[in-house]
Amino acid sequence: MNMFESMLNEFNQEAAVTKKVLERVPVDKLAWKPHPKSMSLGQLALHIATVPGNLAFITQSDVFDASQNNFTPPCPKDTEEINAALEQSILKVEETLKAATEETAQGHWHLMFGDKELMSTPRINVWRSIMLNHWYHHRGQLAVYLRLLDIRVPSIYGPSADENPFS
């Protein structure tokens, strides 16, 4: 198994878990925030749905200029929008990793802000760090939002307090 197959296997396992977490998002709480500085539940859910696909997309080229983009996630109108965004994101990542070569993965990707370079790193590092690890981080945030709203948290890496066959 090459590194892309391994990463794709991991991604698909995590996508299944992410679907379970996003399925718990209640449509009537999309505007809810745990704190004024936090994203709303809907914004966070949509961000989680789109992060992997967006990263796969922006790493297709060698340079991405962050000054040309708005990184404030919109609030979705319903949970169907979140689920559809996740499905599109999954397809984009699968397409990207299946087409990846060692040369493209090791090729440097540059994050710019106008003329200022913020980061230059092999594309594989961006896929691991931001496309995957950043995604897991936000999914963990969403689990906390669900807990604060007294919504059953699904099992993620083991039984949750709500889905524990041993308690």
pLDDT score recorded for residue 40: 98
Q: 83: closest CA among 144, 137, 42, 54?
A: 42
pLDDT score recorded for residue 72: 83
Mean pLDDT by 10 residues, the chain (167 residues): 87 96 97 97 97 95 91 91 98 95 94 95 94 94 97 91 75
Is 122 within a domain?
Answer: yes
Is 82 within a domain?
Answer: yes
Structure tokens at 35: 């704190």
Is 136 within a domain?
Answer: yes
Is 156 within a domain?
Answer: no
Is 160 within a domain?
Answer: no
Is 154 within a domain?
Answer: no
From CA 100, how far away is CA 163, in angstroms rounded? 37
- Domain harbouring 53, CATH code: 1.20.120.450
DSSP letter for each residue of 26-93: -GGGTT--SSTTSPPHHHHHHHHHHHHHHHHHHTSSSEEEGGG----PPPPSSHHHHHHHHHHHHHHH
Is 167 within a domain?
Answer: no
Is 62 within a domain?
Answer: yes
Domain hosting 72: range is 3-148
pLDDT score recorded for residue 167: 62
Please state the separation of Cα 115 from the chain's center in Å: 27
CB 109 within 8 A of CB 121: yes
As for how many domains the chain has, the answer is: 1
Please tell me whether residue 13 adopts helix, strand or coil conformation: helix
From CA 44, how far away is CA 134, in angstroms rounded? 12
